[in-house]
Homo-oligomer: A and B are copies of this chain.
Amino acid sequence: MTGRRLIVVSNRGPVSYARDEHGVRVAGRGGGGLATALRGLAGRCEVTWIASAISEEDRAVAAESGGALEHELGGARVRLLLLAHDPAAYDRYYNVVANPLLWFVHHSLWELGRTPVLDAAFAEAWRDGYVRVNESYAAAVVAELDNDPDAAVFFHDYHLYLAPRLVRDARPDAVLAHFLHVPWPQSDGWTVLPLDARRAIHDGLLANDVVGLHTNRWTRNFVASAVDVLGADVEDGRLRHRGRRTAVAARPISIDCAEFDELAESPAVLAAEAAIERTRAERLVLRVDRTDPSKNIVRGCIAFGLLLDRHPEWRGRAQLLALLDPSRQDIPEYVDYLAAVERETAAVNARHAGAIDLRVSDDFPFSVAAYKQYDVLLVNAVFDGLNLVAKEGPVVNRRDGVLVLSENAGAHEELGEWAVTVNPFDVLGQAEALHAALSMDGAERARRAGALASFVRVHDIGRWIDAQLADLAAVAR
């Protein structure tokens, strides 16, 4: 990839603008996770990043710039293009099609006997939202390729399934890759979408030269569903469709360990840690999640209640600290879910006073402090593309904490052998796994915790970036 410009394309960019209380424009973190993950790219090649203008101030910045902005990322400069979509189209694309519809399909969250009900509003959101916004992205990518025909394009995630086909039709020789940060459901799960829509999604992805996912499990699902939905052929491990071949690669994303090491000793984290140490229970069970039904927070509360019901020795000694980042609270399913978490927490605390400490806020230093302090880290996701909490926690933790990990979290493929595995639907099994984790002897805890941290330190974000660039270079050759 040396010398070749990379055009990163995602819904959220690395920065989002706002006005502070004095009316001064300020730049904040945009996509969060993705910007962090891709920070290392900027030092390795020239980067243009195309993203949606999301805030009002983003739209103002985009209008003023009349083109690309300069933005600093990981010590290097990237060109940033913010696309100011029609607000109604963006709302349909983001709040109707991408979330919850596609997110729920990817994570198998619909109650199929009742939901979703795909009516005229869906048809309109697809046509006048998802298709239109993808067309805007494709036009922007094609314009960038006109500036720099050798650039490689790197699409991200489920918002942009249609753009690659549009770009491919316009620029047949372009180098296109797409990374999916979500689980890939098996083909029956895709029948939740009408035939046209699910074919368009698969066809769009197979316009890429490379499709990356986090695990071998999701790549197997993706290959099988491309065969089932499109009748694609499998040839030498690649998918063949409409005369082109697409490589499918399992590339588990990871974290920037150096960043976490630095954060862990930062004043904000040390202050938060001191606060936790003053009030913490003897044994701290931690979860850190967005308030998303895929994260399985309600069942985690039920399981913690069962632990105390069944193993009285932990009453008053073990506490569940649930740090929840409020997520997508403009979508009814998410509002309902947070209410269900609060109800179940109250029910457990009514039986066992103070058993669950539920904190709904976005306080990253506090989360890192809690990572240092946990004895057990609970990641019981229903389905999860990877789950970075399962990597962040073990790198920062100071107490040989035990990871209790869902078999349906992508991270289980790498980390399962050192975790206590749980089935996400089996709350009795989760309660007993928590008991086993809390009861594990010190040597075994140290062995597992050490192995987890070592694995993540070796397989960190730098390795993932190397793999992405190598995949693109292989295509370009």
Contact = CB atoms under 8 A, between A and B. Distances in A.
B109 A112 contact: yes
Contact of A118 (B107, B118, B337, B429): B429
Given A111-B114, A120-B428, A191-B407, 5 more contacts: A107-B112, A119-B306, A186-B187, A191-B424, A194-B423
Interface string A410-428: 0000000000000111111
B112 A382 contact: yes
B185 A188 contact: yes
B113 A382 contact: yes
B428 A119 contact: yes
Nearest to A299: B117
Interface of A: 107-120, 122-123, 185-189, 191-195, 221, 224, 293-294, 296, 298-299, 302, 306, 337, 340, 382-383, 407-408, 423-429
Nearest to A224: B224
A337 B113 CA distance: 9
The 8 closest A-B CB pairs, nearest first, are: A113-B293, A111-B111, A186-B186, A118-B426, A194-B426, A194-B423, A109-B113, A112-B382
Given A113-B109, A337-B113, A407-B195, A425 B382 contact: no
Nearest to A337: B113
Nearest to A296: B113
**A189, A294, A302 — most chain B CB neighbours (10 Å):** A189
A138 to B, nearest CB: 26
A391 B459 CA distance: 56
A444 B382 CA distance: 47
B294 A113 contact: yes
Contacts of A114: 111, 293, 298, 340
Contacts of A112: 107-109, 382-383, 425
B119 A427 contact: yes
